[in-house]
């Protein structure tokens, strides 16, 4: 299967929205406290676009046979802000989603490779990505792409 990865275009907006809903609902199955995808997708997309504008970000979409099947969003200039952080900035993948029929076929890896290439070209020396601990498939993809665990946040519901 040939995967084409290209920059987002405005006509991709409805399909990106579907991807946001898919990702949110998938993660909601792991953490039921999350809002339903359809209820947050529009505001989330608006916020993501603003973050991209402010942090030298880009959205890339993956296509198979002319059909958009996923997207990745990467911010090239996320500042370290805590006093105990290193100085400078890093790149951050905010979202990576592949629609269910196209998972486990290399689409996510291609999107991640494009995000990394963009971050590197933008001058970033570190790329970070977050993942829910229960998202085993995503964790596997990120570890296979040479990401290593850095910070683990543990939760206890009260």
In a domain, residue 75? The reply is: yes
Q: Assign residue 135 the CATH number of its domain.
A: 3.40.630.30
Helices (H) and strands (E) in the chain, counts: 4, 5
> Is residue 155 in a domain?
no
For 129, phi then psi, to 5°, come to: -150, 145
Assess if residue 112 is contained within a domain: yes
Residue whose pair of structure tokens reads 């990401």 in the numeric block? 147
pLDDT for res 47: 98
pLDDT in tens, 43-102: 999 999 999 999 999 999 999 999 999 999 999 999 999 999 999 999 999 999 999 999
- From the number of C-beta atoms within 10 Å of its C-beta (0-12, 13-18, 19+), residue 113 rates as middle
Tokens 């490779």 belong to residue: 113
153 falls within a domain: no
* Rounded average pLDDT over 137-148: 96
Q: Does some domain include residue 154?
A: no
Residue 152 lies in a domain: no
Alpha carbon distance 28, 38 (integer Å):
12
Q: Quick check: 39 pLDDT over 90?
A: yes
Number of domains in the chain: 1
Instruction: State which residues form the domain around 26.
Output: 4-144
pLDDT at 1 over 90: no
Question: Burial letters for 55-94: b for 16+ Cβ neighbours within 10 Å, e otherwise?
Answer: bbbbbbbbbbeeebbbbbbbbbbbeeeeeeeeeebbbbbb
pLDDT in tens, 110-139: 999 999 999 999 999 999 999 999 999 999
Distance (Å, whole) CA 158 – CA 150: 26
pTM of the model: 0.95
Q: Is residue 84, in this structure, part of any structural domain at all?
A: yes
Residue 33 inside a domain? The answer is: yes
User: Cα torsion for 15, 21, 26, 27, to the nearest 10°?
Assistant: 130
Q: What percent of the chain has pLDDT over 90?
A: 96
Q: Do 85 and 104 contact (CB within 8 A), yes or no?
A: no
């Amino acid at each position: 299967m040939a995967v084409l990865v290209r920059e987002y275009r405005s006509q991709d907006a409805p399909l990106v929205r579907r991807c946001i809903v898919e990702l949110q609902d998938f993660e909601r199955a792991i953490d039921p406290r999350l809002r339903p995808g359809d209820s947050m997708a529009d505001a989330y997309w608006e916020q993501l676009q603003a973050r991209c504008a402010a942090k030298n970000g880009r959205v890339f979409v993956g296509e198979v046979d002319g059909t958009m099947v996923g997207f990745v969003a990467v911010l090239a200039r996320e500042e370290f802000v805590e006093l105990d952080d290193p100085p400078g900035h890093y790149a951050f993948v905010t979202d990576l989603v592949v629609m269910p029929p196209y998972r486990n076929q290399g689409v996510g890896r291609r999107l991640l490779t494009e995000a990394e290439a963009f971050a590197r070209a933008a001058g970033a020396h570190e790329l970070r990505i977050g993942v829910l601990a229960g998202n085993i498939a995503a964790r596997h993809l990120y570890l296979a792409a040479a990401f290593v665990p850095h910070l683990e946040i543990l939760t206890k519901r009260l």
